[in-house]
């Protein structure tokens, strides 16, 4: 049900989706994932309390990767045993080794079944590590290269592959095929994204509102609408774009207003 850009903002939304499942009498369970940093947001306490109070079918999973952006767990949370952060809120906690595929699968499966059966939320803490920086602009001065290397040595993807080979469930060639397949899927997604056209300027206002029915009045004040508001000739001449698709006049002095009239 989407990714969100506000740390902790997804917790109440997940609980609302679980509320809909419960309201409609289904056996659906919502899995809500967030980072260790989100445990310090107000939504964490508010949502765990309300989900427990209303016995909503939701598994809260905190992926404890040891950092909220560049601040280490022990520097941002008084309680670092995050599985216990729901104890006072009526949400029992458990932990899995987030670097171990089978342990994570086993604990989460059990958590989902327990929530489905008992109609009360649980909190699962997955202990893991963020191999890369928080973003492109992260010099990673808050940790050592040795620490990163130690965790990388436990990278769950190769570790799980090796386990499967050791147990004779895959041979080395099959393992390489699966790896290649996964890499090809990602490459194809990147190619699709890079090969897709940019949105047309006239789509700027699309989907701000649902406008299915007859409508009256002004929904948006469109001071930068490229169609309703043609660029001055000199602006077009001064800033030609490579493909002409991203041309939005920059100098808009007089506001223009468009209403969505009754259809």
Instruction: Using CB under 8 A, list all residues that contact another protein.
Output: 1-2, 4-6, 9, 11-21, 23-24, 42-43, 46-47, 49-50, 53-54, 206-210, 212, 215-221, 254-255, 257, 259-260
Instruction: Classify each residue of 140-179 as buried b or exposed e, where b means 16 or more C-beta atoms within 10 Å of its C-beta.
Output: eeebeeeebeebeeeebeeebbeeeeeeeebeeeebeeee
Which distant-in-sequence residues (6+ apart) come within 8 Å of 227 by Cβ?
Answer: 201, 202
Q: How far apart are CA 35 and CA 87, in angstroms?
A: 18
Q: How far is the CB of 229 from another protein (least distance, A)?
A: 13
Q: How far is the CB of 248 from another protein (least distance, A)?
A: 17
Closer residue to another protein in complex, CB, 3/244? 3
Q: How far is the CB of 57 from another protein (least distance, A)?
A: 12
Closer residue to another protein in complex, CB, 47/83? 47
**Triad 77, 80, 82: Cα angle to 5°:** 105
For 262, phi then psi, to 5°, come to: -55, 135
The CA distances from residue 223 to 30, 101, 158, 228, 235, in Å, are 41, 52, 53, 9, 16
Q: How far is the CB of 17 from another protein (least distance, A)?
A: 4
Closer residue to another protein in complex, CB, 33/220? 220
Q: How far apart are CA 221 and CA 200, in angstroms?
A: 19
Closer residue to another protein in complex, CB, 174/200? 200
Q: How far apart are CA 11 and CA 72, in angstroms?
A: 22
Q: How far apart are CA 181 and CA 174, in angstroms?
A: 10
Q: How far is the CB of 169 from another protein (least distance, A)?
A: 38
Token digits of residue 154 = 């436990």
Closer residue to another protein in complex, CB, 12/249? 12
Closer residue to another protein in complex, CB, 69/165? 69
């Amino acid at each position: 049900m989407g990714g969100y850009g506000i740390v902790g903002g997804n917790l109440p939304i997940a609980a609302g989706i679980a509320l809909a499942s419960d309201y409609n009498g289904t056996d659906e369970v919502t899995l809500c994932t967030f980072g260790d940093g989100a445990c310090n947001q107000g939504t964490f306490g508010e949502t765990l309390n309300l989900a427990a109070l209303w016995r909503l079918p939701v598994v809260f999973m905190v992926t404890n990767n040891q950092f909220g952006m560049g601040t280490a767990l022990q520097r941002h949370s008084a309680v670092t045993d995050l599985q216990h952060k729901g104890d006072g809120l009526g949400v029992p906690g458990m932990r899995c080794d987030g670097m171990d595929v089978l342990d994570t699968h086993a604990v989460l499966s059990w958590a989902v079944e327990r929530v489905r059966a008992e109609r009360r939320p649980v909190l699962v803490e997955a202990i893991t590590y963020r191999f890369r920086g928080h973003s492109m602009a992260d010099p990673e001065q808050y940790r050592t290269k040795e620490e990163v290397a130690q965790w990388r040595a436990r990278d769950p993807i190769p570790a799980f592959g090796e386990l499967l080979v050791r147990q004779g469930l895959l041979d080395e060639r099959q393992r390489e095929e699966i790896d290649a397949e996964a890499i090809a899927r990602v490459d194809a997604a990147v190619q699709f994204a890079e090969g897709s056209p940019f949105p047309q300027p006239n789509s700027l206002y699309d989907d701000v509102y649902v406008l299915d029915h007859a409508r009256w009045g002004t929904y948006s004040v469109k001071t930068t609408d490229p169609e309703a508001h043609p660029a001055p000739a000199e602006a077009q001449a001064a800033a030609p774009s490579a493909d002409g698709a991203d041309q939005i006049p920059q100098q808009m002095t007089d506001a223009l207003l468009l209403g969505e009239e009754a259809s």
